[in-house]
Amino acid sequence: MNVLLIIFGLIILTYAADKLVEGAASMARRLGVSPLVVGLTVVAYGTSFPELVVSVQASFENNPGITVGNAVGSTIFNSGLILGLAALICPIPCNSDVVRRDVPVMIGSSLLIWFMARDQQFSRPEGIILILLVIIYSFASYYLAKKSPDPEIPSEALGEIQSTPARDIFRIVVGMAGLIGGAKLLLIGSVAIAKSFGISDEIIGLTLVAAGTSMPELATSVVAAWRGQPDIAIGNVVGSNIFNILGIIGVSGVLLPLQVSTHMLEIDIPIMVIFCLGALPIMKSDLKISRLEGFFLTVFFLMYNVALYFSPS
């Protein structure tokens, strides 16, 4: 029964995220925002909404292990498996502006989280700081994109959008409702499985929940790589990571001060930082992610997950 709850939850989450991104992307383009900005912000943040909803729901259920584990695990999943698989499908050219501006923000955010977690908790004031930072980043990205417009991306990269404002709003509302319902099912099923097998909430958050809620990012980046749209693939991962680190931990930390385990502080968050730091030289070299680099990212991610099950939590 719990497995069915997780499966149905993941299906609902994926479908709802798709509707939310579809409606939000259409609305953004209608307001005159460039397709690349939509890929870096609306698509990235939209596909990260499952992580946000699950983490917020976990906060209300007093499960900080799942809350922090989901945000950290999703960032590792994005940086390792998603970028790795996308590059294996097709070597990914990297936009120089993303490498110069957004990747350092991602690295700085991961280092900030590591610093804040040194006392093994995220307090409400720290959560407020993180929320303010993600808001500042979002507005700065929009301003810089308007000041220096990026090359146009064909509409098929974001899907054919033939809609009306009312239909866009409907998609967004349906997407939000679906995310809340799907997140609830996923959370109930995953916590029940964790308890029945004696696995900690934190490990479940780092693996099963993180992978499940990252499915929208995986689908978006892999399809973008397949269609030859590197800006969407890279922007989705980098933008989602920034939102995971700043937005999800920030919002969840404001709702409920989050406890951070020793395992999370000494192993999982440093691994997340390593993945974020490693993205810079990989992307900066020849401004692309090669298939070989994608292979190593994937292998490193798989090794981390195997080691996770054999390490004390």
| pLDDT tens digit sequence for 98-118 | 888 889 999 999 999 999 999
pLDDT of residue 156: 46
Backbone angles phi, psi at 121, to 5 degrees: -165, 155
Q: Where residue 158 sits, what CATH number does that domain have?
A: 1.20.1420.30
Q: What DSSP character marks residue 47?
A: H
Torsion 143-145-147-153 (CA) sign = negative
* ∠ CA 23-235-50, rounded to 5°: 50
Whole-number Å distance between alpha carbons of 204 and 305: 11
Which band of pLDDT confidence, cut at 50, 70 and 90, is reported for residue 11?
A: confident
Question: Would you say residue 125 has pLDDT above 90?
Answer: yes
Q: How far is CA 236 from CA 40, 60, 163, in A?
A: 6, 28, 23
Other beta carbons within 10 angstroms of residue 216's beta carbon come to: 26
Q: What is the mean pLDDT of residues 210-230?
A: 73
88-100 tens-digit pLDDT: 988 888 878 788 8
Question: Would you say residue 76 has pLDDT above 90?
Answer: yes
Q: Token pair for residue 59?
A: 């906060």
pLDDT of residue 55: 82
Rounded to two decimals, what is the model's pTM? 0.79
Range of the domain at 188: 2-310
Encode burial over 29-65: b for 16+ CB neighbours within 10 A, e otherwise.
Answer: beeebbbbbbbbbbbbbbbbbbbbbbbbbbbebebbb
Other beta carbons within 10 angstroms of residue 156's beta carbon come to: 9
Which helix (H) or strand (E) segment holds residue 310: the answer is helix 291-310
pLDDT of residue 158: 45
For every residue of 13-69, DSSP letters joined together read HHHHHHHHHHHHHHHHHHTT--HHHIIIIIIHHHHTHHHHHHHHHHHHTT-HHHHHH
* ∠ CA 161-167-169, rounded to 5°: 105
pLDDT of residue 141: 79
Q: Among all chains, which residue has been given the structure tokens 């009312």?
A: 166
For the chain, the residue count is 313
pLDDT of residue 153: 45
Question: Would you say residue 10 has pLDDT above 50?
Answer: yes
Q: Among all chains, which residue has been given the structure tokens 């590792």?
A: 76
Which band of pLDDT confidence, cut at 50, 70 and 90, is reported for residue 207?
A: confident
pLDDT of residue 64: 77
Q: Token pair for residue 34?
A: 């460039």
140-188 tens-digit pLDDT: 877 776 665 544 444 444 444 456 778 878 887 887 788 778 877 876 8
Number of structural domains in the chain = 1
CA 150 to chain centre: 23
